[in-house]
Amino acid sequence: MKLKLPAGSFRAWLFDCDGTIADSMPLHYIAWKTALAEWNCEFDEKLFYSWGGKPVREIVAALNGMHGLNMPVEAVAERKEGLYLEQLPQLKAIPEVLEIIEAQHGRIPFAVVSGSRRNSVIGSLTTLGLLDKFDTIVAAEDYKNAKPAPDAFLLAAARLGVAPEDCLVFEDTDLGIQAATAAGMASVLVPFIMHRS
Protein backbone atom coordinates (compact mmCIF):
# COMPACT_ATOMS: atom_id res chain seq x y z
CA MET A 1 0.00 0.00 0.00
CA LYS A 2 1.53 3.31 -1.06
CA LEU A 3 0.96 6.64 0.67
CA LYS A 4 -0.97 9.14 -1.43
CA LEU A 5 0.71 12.55 -1.37
CA PRO A 6 -1.23 15.76 -2.02
CA ALA A 7 -0.54 17.71 -5.22
CA GLY A 8 1.85 20.61 -5.01
CA SER A 9 5.56 21.16 -4.67
CA PHE A 10 6.61 21.25 -1.04
CA ARG A 11 9.88 22.73 0.13
CA ALA A 12 10.15 20.72 3.37
CA TRP A 13 8.70 17.54 4.80
CA LEU A 14 7.91 17.24 8.51
CA PHE A 15 7.47 13.80 10.02
CA ASP A 16 5.98 12.73 13.31
CA CYS A 17 8.15 9.96 14.77
CA ASP A 18 6.11 7.46 16.81
CA GLY A 19 3.58 5.64 14.66
CA THR A 20 4.66 7.54 11.53
CA ILE A 21 8.35 6.78 10.91
CA ALA A 22 8.78 4.21 13.67
CA ASP A 23 6.28 1.44 14.35
CA SER A 24 6.86 2.24 17.99
CA MET A 25 3.34 2.67 19.32
CA PRO A 26 2.97 -1.00 20.39
CA LEU A 27 6.32 -0.74 22.23
CA HIS A 28 5.27 2.53 23.88
CA TYR A 29 2.02 0.88 24.98
CA ILE A 30 3.91 -2.04 26.58
CA ALA A 31 6.13 0.51 28.39
CA TRP A 32 3.05 2.41 29.61
CA LYS A 33 1.29 -0.76 30.82
CA THR A 34 4.39 -1.86 32.73
CA ALA A 35 5.09 1.55 34.30
CA LEU A 36 1.44 2.16 35.23
CA ALA A 37 0.87 -1.34 36.64
CA GLU A 38 3.30 -0.37 39.41
CA TRP A 39 0.68 2.25 40.44
CA ASN A 40 -2.39 0.07 39.75
CA CYS A 41 -3.35 2.49 36.99
CA GLU A 42 -5.33 1.36 33.93
CA PHE A 43 -4.60 2.79 30.48
CA ASP A 44 -7.07 1.54 27.88
CA GLU A 45 -5.46 0.77 24.51
CA LYS A 46 -8.09 2.78 22.59
CA LEU A 47 -7.44 5.80 24.79
CA PHE A 48 -3.68 5.35 24.35
CA TYR A 49 -4.02 5.53 20.56
CA SER A 50 -6.45 8.46 20.68
CA TRP A 51 -3.88 10.35 22.77
CA GLY A 52 -1.10 9.74 20.21
CA GLY A 53 1.12 12.83 20.06
CA LYS A 54 0.37 13.91 23.63
CA PRO A 55 3.55 14.40 25.70
CA VAL A 56 4.35 11.74 28.30
CA ARG A 57 4.06 14.06 31.31
CA GLU A 58 0.67 15.33 30.14
CA ILE A 59 -0.54 11.73 29.86
CA VAL A 60 0.54 10.90 33.43
CA ALA A 61 -1.19 14.06 34.74
CA ALA A 62 -4.36 13.27 32.75
CA LEU A 63 -4.44 9.68 34.04
CA ASN A 64 -4.01 10.98 37.61
CA GLY A 65 -7.07 13.17 37.09
CA MET A 66 -9.14 10.41 35.46
CA HIS A 67 -8.39 7.77 38.09
CA GLY A 68 -8.12 10.00 41.16
CA LEU A 69 -4.49 8.96 41.56
CA ASN A 70 -1.45 10.88 42.71
CA MET A 71 1.32 9.26 40.67
CA PRO A 72 4.55 11.32 40.67
CA VAL A 73 4.50 12.69 37.11
CA GLU A 74 8.26 13.00 36.62
CA ALA A 75 9.12 9.59 38.12
CA VAL A 76 6.42 7.72 36.15
CA ALA A 77 7.40 9.54 32.94
CA GLU A 78 11.08 8.64 33.43
CA ARG A 79 10.22 5.01 34.18
CA LYS A 80 8.00 4.77 31.09
CA GLU A 81 10.69 6.29 28.85
CA GLY A 82 13.31 3.91 30.27
CA LEU A 83 11.08 0.90 29.59
CA TYR A 84 10.55 2.12 26.01
CA LEU A 85 14.29 2.56 25.39
CA GLU A 86 14.94 -1.00 26.65
CA GLN A 87 12.69 -2.32 23.85
CA LEU A 88 14.41 -0.39 21.03
CA PRO A 89 16.17 -3.46 19.60
CA GLN A 90 12.68 -4.69 18.53
CA LEU A 91 11.82 -1.43 16.75
CA LYS A 92 10.99 -1.45 13.03
CA ALA A 93 10.30 1.37 10.58
CA ILE A 94 6.94 1.75 8.82
CA PRO A 95 7.87 0.54 5.30
CA GLU A 96 5.77 3.00 3.26
CA VAL A 97 7.18 6.00 5.14
CA LEU A 98 10.73 4.62 5.04
CA GLU A 99 10.40 4.27 1.24
CA ILE A 100 9.41 7.95 0.93
CA ILE A 101 12.26 9.10 3.19
CA GLU A 102 14.81 7.04 1.22
CA ALA A 103 13.48 8.30 -2.14
CA GLN A 104 13.37 12.00 -1.25
CA HIS A 105 16.26 12.41 1.19
CA GLY A 106 18.72 15.06 0.04
CA ARG A 107 16.24 16.72 -2.32
CA ILE A 108 14.43 18.79 0.32
CA PRO A 109 14.98 19.30 4.05
CA PHE A 110 13.31 16.91 6.53
CA ALA A 111 12.39 17.47 10.16
CA VAL A 112 11.02 15.21 12.88
CA VAL A 113 8.29 16.82 14.97
CA SER A 114 7.41 14.72 17.99
CA GLY A 115 5.43 14.76 21.22
CA SER A 116 8.15 12.54 22.68
CA ARG A 117 11.29 13.73 24.44
CA ARG A 118 14.48 14.18 22.41
CA ASN A 119 16.23 11.11 23.93
CA SER A 120 13.30 8.88 22.90
CA VAL A 121 13.21 10.30 19.34
CA ILE A 122 17.00 10.03 18.91
CA GLY A 123 16.89 6.49 20.31
CA SER A 124 14.21 5.47 17.79
CA LEU A 125 15.86 7.14 14.78
CA THR A 126 19.32 5.79 15.70
CA THR A 127 17.94 2.24 16.02
CA LEU A 128 16.35 2.58 12.56
CA GLY A 129 19.53 4.06 11.07
CA LEU A 130 17.67 7.24 10.06
CA LEU A 131 19.05 9.89 12.41
CA ASP A 132 21.27 11.46 9.71
CA LYS A 133 18.32 11.89 7.33
CA PHE A 134 16.81 14.75 9.33
CA ASP A 135 17.96 18.37 9.34
CA THR A 136 16.32 19.13 12.69
CA ILE A 137 14.36 17.44 15.47
CA VAL A 138 11.62 19.26 17.34
CA ALA A 139 10.89 17.31 20.53
CA ALA A 140 8.63 17.80 23.56
CA GLU A 141 11.24 19.96 25.35
CA ASP A 142 11.27 22.49 22.50
CA TYR A 143 7.75 23.91 22.72
CA LYS A 144 5.09 24.77 25.29
CA ASN A 145 1.81 23.85 23.60
CA ALA A 146 1.56 20.26 22.40
CA LYS A 147 -0.38 18.99 19.38
CA PRO A 148 -3.19 19.85 18.38
CA ALA A 149 -1.58 23.31 18.83
CA PRO A 150 0.53 24.22 15.76
CA ASP A 151 3.60 25.32 17.78
CA ALA A 152 5.83 22.28 17.13
CA PHE A 153 5.26 22.32 13.35
CA LEU A 154 5.72 26.10 13.13
CA LEU A 155 9.00 25.78 15.04
CA ALA A 156 10.23 23.07 12.64
CA ALA A 157 9.35 25.23 9.61
CA ALA A 158 11.18 28.21 11.16
CA ARG A 159 14.28 26.09 11.88
CA LEU A 160 14.32 24.88 8.27
CA GLY A 161 13.69 28.40 6.96
CA VAL A 162 10.59 27.29 5.02
CA ALA A 163 7.17 28.98 5.07
CA PRO A 164 4.46 26.87 6.78
CA GLU A 165 2.38 26.66 3.59
CA ASP A 166 5.39 25.09 1.81
CA CYS A 167 5.63 22.22 4.33
CA LEU A 168 4.07 18.78 4.05
CA VAL A 169 3.38 16.91 7.30
CA PHE A 170 3.29 13.13 7.76
CA GLU A 171 1.24 12.09 10.80
CA ASP A 172 -0.57 9.06 12.19
CA THR A 173 -2.89 10.74 14.72
CA ASP A 174 -5.87 13.07 14.63
CA LEU A 175 -4.08 15.38 17.08
CA GLY A 176 -1.14 15.60 14.70
CA ILE A 177 -3.29 16.27 11.62
CA GLN A 178 -5.18 18.99 13.56
CA ALA A 179 -1.84 20.57 14.54
CA ALA A 180 -0.63 20.53 10.92
CA THR A 181 -3.88 22.13 9.73
CA ALA A 182 -3.65 24.76 12.47
CA ALA A 183 -0.12 25.53 11.24
CA GLY A 184 -1.44 26.07 7.70
CA MET A 185 0.33 22.97 6.37
CA ALA A 186 -0.82 20.19 4.06
CA SER A 187 -0.72 16.73 5.63
CA VAL A 188 -0.69 13.03 4.88
CA LEU A 189 -2.33 10.62 7.30
CA VAL A 190 -0.29 7.44 7.74
CA PRO A 191 -3.07 4.91 8.29
CA PHE A 192 -2.78 2.63 11.29
CA ILE A 193 -3.40 -0.35 9.03
CA MET A 194 0.08 0.16 7.52
CA HIS A 195 1.73 -0.67 10.83
CA ARG A 196 0.25 -4.13 10.72
CA SER A 197 0.79 -5.06 7.08
- SS3 for 75? helix
- SS3 for 104? helix
Catalytic one of 16, 18, 151, 172:
16
- Is-catalytic flag, 23? no
Q: How far apart are CA 146 and CA 22, in angstroms?
A: 20
Taking CA atoms, 168 is separated from 1, 12, 50, 180, 188, in Å, by 20, 6, 22, 9, 8
Q: How far apart are CA 7 and CA 17, in angstroms?
A: 23
Nearest to 18 by CA among 164, 197, 193, 192: 192
Nearest to 157 by CA among 29, 58, 14, 5: 14
Q: How far apart are CA 176 and CA 171, in angstroms?
A: 6
Q: How far apart are CA 62 and CA 71, in angstroms?
A: 11
| Active-site annotation, residues | 16
